Structure 1
Amino acid sequence: MTVKQMKNTSKDVAVIGGGIIGVCSAYYLHKAGKSVVVIDKDEIGKACSFGNAGYITPSHFIPLAAPGMIQKGIKWMLNPQSPFYVRPSLNVDFLKWLLSFAKKCTPQHTLASQQAILDINLKSLELYQALHQEAEFDFEFHQNGLLMLCKTQQGLNDEAATVMAANKLGLKAKMLTAQALKELEPNIKLDVMGAGFYPEDAHIAPYEFIVAMKNYLAAQGVEFREHCEITGFTTDTSKSEICAATTAIGEINADEFILANGAWSPKLAKQLGFSLPVQPGKGICISFDSAPVKDGAKLECRTPFILSEAKVAVSPLDNGIRFGGTMELGVLSSQESSGISHNRIKGLTKSAARYLPDLDTTQVDPKEFWSGFRPCSPDGLPIIGRAPQLANLTLATGHAMMGLSLGPITGKLVSEIIAKEETSLDLTPFSPQRFG
């Protein structure tokens, strides 16, 4: 396609970002009868959506900005192998984000946010279930719940409090003893005191889901432009609208634009003249066809689990098992983002071995680790809604660790916003205008 042809091409909606949020937005916009183009600077689904744990998590109703996180962050800054690490930085946007995050780490914010976070997760779970039942495309989906494994008495006490809060919100969570865990998962040896169990949670293979949805949408006429980095925008200041997105090979015109570019959304927001309070939180993972174990041992399970104190997620998938975790804030430059810290890898593998004594960490190759960036808002809630600055721009970012979980509902909400319909949920808690 020539530059001239591209300039003459126009769509109803241009979705910027080809991860879980962008692809789901394209799906529901297509279902609403819109012509759609999805634009990504890399390959569709190969950023944060590629290697995450794949959890669909009604259980994760407590925001990242929660009481005690600042104290933990300061303590963990002294340990580069810790599950949550803040890289020292003098970047002004990062310092503003940290200040805003610190102000939200209160019991009041946590209590005020829980119902909204739970509601949006439950709506997304319903949409995943509906998508799985449709014959349009196939993907791996398991609703086996989620275990929060606790190794210490303090961890057990904290999880019991979360289970109690979950029950008050209507979830069917419960605590399990070590013996009950053994009965639930007899093929895996766990060195833990007990666990919280959230039976409504589910999990998928994230990249498989995105590829299946992309293939379906492409066959339906949705256009995908990969390796197509946006370098600027043409705007109409008299109408406060975006006219076109500029790329190296021409302009992409659309009536509406969706900014669903994850951790890279703030860069494009600046090109459009406004600030978006999202910071990248770097996570890592490693996948195995079968987990390396010591002689005669097995590491097989049906239920995904999180090593609670260590913040390591373990996901059983049809084609293997995945370990992932850590949150590293303050990784801002492309040079810093290109590699994975040996300390982060060592911290994850050491933590996993403490809970899983049969895991043979000597067989884990650090070169096999993958990293991705979660887009983190300062209050721990996603940013979904019309951009106050531009009449035809909708924001869909800031999902942090819940991007995969909230993909379908975010896409549906975006389509409802574009169609000027009543939204499936009250968007006030997620409004971009909440940051002033």
Structure 2
Amino acid sequence: MNASSRIPGFYKLDPDSRFRKIVEVSGLPAEHLHAMRHTDAGMASIADRMIENAIGTIAIPLGVAANFLIDGRDHLVPMATEEPSVVAAASNAALVARERGGFHTSSMAPVMIAQVQVLDVADPQAARLRLLEARDELLALANAQDPLLVELGGGARDIEVRLVESADFRAVVLHLQVDVRDAMGANAVNTMAEALAPRIAAIARGRSLLRILSNKADLRLVRVRAVFDADKLGGEAVVEGIVEAYRFAAADPYRAATHNKGIMNGISAVVLATGNDTRAIEAGAHCHACRDGRYTSLSHFEKDADGHLVGSLELPLALGLVGGATRTHPTAQAAVKLLGVRSANQLAEITAAVGLAQNMAALRALATEGIQRGHMSLHARNVAVAAGAAEHEVAALAARLAADGHVRQDRAQQLLAELRAGA
């Protein structure tokens, strides 16, 4: 870099001016950074409103998973992901599930938790009871912060008070439970928590510090189950293999981490496509996976009395249809319209179904041909492009790479040279 990264007034510039400034400061040729620029003026304006110091956008492939029958309704599911095989795997698993009724879901009310931390409390046990005695007062004060949410049927519902202690730390922590309706809810609960903090501190006779939502949204659980036909899966041995693979993940956190990542391959793709917060969802899911003190599988697989595979999944999914990128990003808006959802809960239920489908597909691959065969055959197209293949050469080169079994860029370049020599 040729100059200091300290750029006074950088945030005041428009995206085009910011781009020119980073070219100047970085010392790189403009063509090396051109891919970072926006190509659409309208999208550049939206990006500039969504985040700070925007200079452009990055496009993630957006696919559509087919075959999903969820609670008796068909859905085409938009999925934004850079990983090959995810959309195909989810679609194939959904096709197997259709044979025996598709996916069945349920969910809790969309309740989020705001935490208010109080320190320097002399009598924490008594403070806990004083706060519980003030429940009605605190709920009324919280609801006064968002009358529209209350009018829509939501609002603060209850409180819980916890004493959080460690060797060098002690705090009284009040949980405000808020029904946020069709929002993810962060803004609503944070506003309420900040308004309540002084009164909570006064009642507890301490000093309030943090007042913010928790992404451990365990009052907002979503559940999904499906029966996967044994014959469609490949027979009894495949069912047994999937169940054994699940048992490995349930017993071993090293396997569970990758097992749950497979679930999130599907879930995060839908979350991103609909403009929701992937980091919040990932954090909540993995926290839920260790709720009993040991990290384990989020899903469960077993064999029913008829020998078919039964899969189930339960996890927190704090998704919204109002606010945030869901309402500002045109692609997210289109994705929500394609899904045809009527509530945030329905969006969460569909998303969980995709997670279960993705998980089953990965376990099926692991229990049969191995994960690499299907994954690498799709990945071969990316490697072919990276090796310099022209559009009309990609399919042939990818096929040769997959057949060769060495899906690497150096091998792709060798095969590409051979293809061109023989043309």
For Structure 1 versus Structure 2, the TM-score category normalised by the shorter chain is under 0.3
Higher relative contact order (CA 8 A, sep 6+): 1
Larger of the two Rg values belongs to structure: 2
Q: Which structure has greater helix proportion?
A: 2
**TM-score after normalising by structure 2:** 0.23
